[in-house]
Structure 1
Amino acid sequence: MLAKLLQATSDQPKGANTKRFISKYAIYFVFIAMCIVMSILSPVFLTVANLLNVMTQMASIGLLALGVTIIIITRGIDLSSGSVLAVAAVVSASTAQSLDWGMRMYPNLPELPIIVPILVALAVGALCGLINGALIAYTGIPPFIATLGMMIIARGAALLYSDGRPVSSLIESYQWIGQGTIAGIPVPVVIFLVMAFITYILLNYTRFGKYAYAIGGNETAAYVSGINVTKYKILVYVYAGLLAGIAALILTARINSGQPGLGVMYELDAIASATVGGVSHAGGIGTIQGTIVGVMIMGVLQNGLDLLNVSAYWQQVVKGLVIVVAVIFDMKRQKKSK
């Protein structure tokens, strides 16, 4: 048996193991290389304050990217997460008013405990996710169309609810979610890391995750094998909506205002982060750790370009190129695996 194993190993092309290793961990090498280059170009980049700032800025997009990762694994897409964030933000902020200001805007509404706006944000996000999932699972509408519709509806709902104005003067306990620290680490970063860990467990060690991979790999085979495809498709979008609600809490608390214009283009940044992190749009392939690295790559790219005083217009061009290159590499990888 050992002789056969050694013979099989010797029959493999030279460098095959090295190529597989490089292919598997290429995204990590890219991230390290970017950090080295940015630290050379800007001495400020590797300071603790700047790195924490990068992670804090990317926390909301990172949360959206976690949800998008599972959706893409099931061969779906979500274009509505930025708009869902906005409507969750304004509704949640309206229940987190400080007493003096809140009495002027909502005379019959007392100052509510912090748990209320938190639950409201989660409920709004989950409801939007439920609608997305139900439309896709029950009607067969392509995810692109269903979530595009939700993107427009949710943005309109945010504008209607807030009358197009920011909802400000939030209670201090709410502001702490976006501005506080735990052991010197910003709360948004802590929340993102906790939710990334929970999502990793869900995706790798629960029926929810196993079924998500199965649906993305071959939906027909998953159905034939007894998986309730409709149920788990809906759950995937509900979970993504919950994450959008948490992202709304963080972003609203950071700027001390729930604004209907929040989250514009965030869904594209989230999709880009997941794509760069190795999540395949062909379905059935992707990891949470890869998405986290993808989020950090996009964050480092944006922060580095800011430090180098690169125009915001050129930053959009660079982001677009990164997405295209990432998809091209994914397509080539899929062809090689067939």
Structure 2
Amino acid sequence: MEKDIKSLLFKYKSLIGLIILCVVISIITPRFLTVTNVLNVFTQVSVNAIIAVGMCFVILTGGIDLSVGSTLAITGAIAATLVKSNTNTFVTIIAVLIIGALIGLFNGILVSKGKIQAFIVTLATMTVFRGVTYVYTKGTPISGLSSDFTVIGNGKLAGIPLPVILILLVVLAAWYVLNQTRYGRYVYAVGGNEDSARLSGINTDKIKALVYVICGATAALSGIVVTSRIGSASPNAGSGFELDAIAAVVLGGTSLSGGEGSVIGTIIGAMIIGVLNNGLNLMNVSPFYQLIVKGFVIILAVILDKKNK
């Protein structure tokens, strides 16, 4: 009985941690549970959550993608340029998503076909695409975007912010792919044991390449949301976002060694980071101390993951 309870607690540790965190913060600061603040938390979380969903696919195969922040920056800049040239908003979105997917494909080919470690590949492309962004923007923000585009990050539907609706759609799509399709089963198989997956007839190179395509596309989607929300594209956009995305995936219970985890857990992990940031802001905690707290929370999540093996 005790073993079953302990197993249950470990299974839902991320959700339990989120609930406890919300209770503690709401006790310390009553402003936390106001409707306005809760919607604000969901809106703030949306960008990291969208990136984290793509990162979840990559980490499930045992990989990593450090280039998502730079991908967000360059795709956001391209989106801003297209909008300023009066390109249709829908066409802009499709074009930017394709560019993000192609960036992911570039990473995926180097990792799967080139047999280069994902950490090295994406560390290099993180630097390359950040440099490309600075060259493309000449180091200055691109502003003056149309209201048709900025509504994506600032509009509401039935009182719910559009970025929140967007992340719900992304999560539903990702959950379906991972849990209801053959490709999703193959992703888990490759992360669990790549050699066994290859021997069973799975095209592991294709599976691994496609997860980076998905990650690139979600990073581009986040680039659209960020650019739309602030009404301009900054060459510094997305700096450090890769770390928050990885943290969300790990906090959500996905194993860094691959083969174990879920997109729902990833969203819970993103919520933990968002609630923690919001709570610390409401308590007027210095941003410097916030980084320290966030770092220790991630370490705790990794320790719990190791203990559960």
Tell me, yes or no, whether TM beats 0.5.
Answer: yes
The answer (yes or no) to whether the contact 1:211–1:227 under 8 Å persists in 2 is: yes
CA deviation after TM superposition for structure 1 residue 116, in Å: 2.4
Which residue number corresponds to residue 211 of structure 1? 186
CA distance in 2, matches of 1:69, 1:91: 25
* % identity of equivalent residues: 44
CA deviation after TM superposition for structure 1 residue 120, in Å: 2.4
Q: Which runs of 5+ in 2 are unaligned?
A: none
CA distance in 2, matches of 1:236, 1:183: 33
CA-based RMSD: 0.8
What aligned pairs does 1:308-319 form with structure 2 within 5 A after superposition?
Answer: 308-319=283-294
Aligned partner of 2:169 among 188, 194, 212: 194
Aligned partner of 2:79 among 92, 95, 108: 92
Which residue number corresponds to residue 81 of structure 1? 68
Which residue number corresponds to residue 156 of structure 1? 131
Aligned partner of 2:95 among 120, 144, 148: 120
Q: Which runs of 5+ in 1 are unaligned?
A: 1-13, 98-108
CA distance in 2, matches of 1:267, 1:36: 28
2:309 is aligned with 1:322? no
Which residue number corresponds to residue 41 of structure 2? 54
What aligned pairs does 1:140-289 form with structure 2 within 5 A after superposition?
Answer: 140-289=115-264
The answer (yes or no) to whether the contact 1:95–1:116 under 8 Å persists in 2 is: no
CA distance in 2, matches of 1:130, 1:141: 14
Give, as a single letter, the amino acid of the residue that structure 2 aligns with 1:291: T
CA distance in 2, matches of 1:25, 1:227: 31
Would you identify which runs of 4 or more consecutive aligned residues in structure 1 move more than 4 Å?
none
Cα shift readout 1:121-175 (whole Å, capped 9, x = no counterpart): 2022111100000000011100000000110011011111111111111111100
CA distance in 2, matches of 1:320, 1:249: 28
CA distance in 1, matches of 2:253, 2:11: 9
Give, as a single letter, the amino acid of the residue that structure 1 aligns with 2:116: I
Which residue number corresponds to residue 50 of structure 2? 63
Aligned partner of 1:290 among 258, 262, 265: 265
2:6 is aligned with 1:19? yes
The answer (yes or no) to whether the contact 1:88–1:120 under 8 Å persists in 2 is: no
If you compute each CA radius of gyration, which structure gives the higher value, 1 or 2? 1
CA deviation after TM superposition for structure 1 residue 117, in Å: 1.7
The answer (yes or no) to whether the contact 2:105–2:213 under 8 Å persists in 1 is: yes
The answer (yes or no) to whether the contact 1:91–1:120 under 8 Å persists in 2 is: no
CA distance in 2, matches of 1:113, 1:306: 38
Give, as a single letter, the amino acid of the residue that structure 2 aligns with 1:183: A
CA distance in 2, matches of 1:227, 1:288: 22
CA distance in 2, matches of 1:116, 1:164: 26
> Matched residue of 2:79: which SS?
helix
Give, as a single letter, the amino acid of the residue that structure 2 aligns with 1:92: A
CA deviation after TM superposition for structure 1 residue 24, in Å: 1.0
Cα shift readout 1:94-135 (whole Å, capped 9, x = no counterpart): 0001xxxxxxxxxxx4x2211222122202211110000000
CA distance in 1, matches of 2:183, 2:295: 32
CA distance in 1, matches of 2:301, 2:273: 12
Which residue number corresponds to residue 3 of structure 1? none
2:108 is aligned with 1:133? yes
Q: TM-score, normalised by structure 2?
A: 0.98
The answer (yes or no) to whether the contact 2:60–2:256 under 8 Å persists in 1 is: yes
Give, as a single letter, the amino acid of the residue that structure 2 aligns with 1:20: S
> Matched residue of 1:139: which SS?
coil
CA distance in 2, matches of 1:118, 1:27: 33
CA distance in 1, matches of 2:96, 2:285: 35
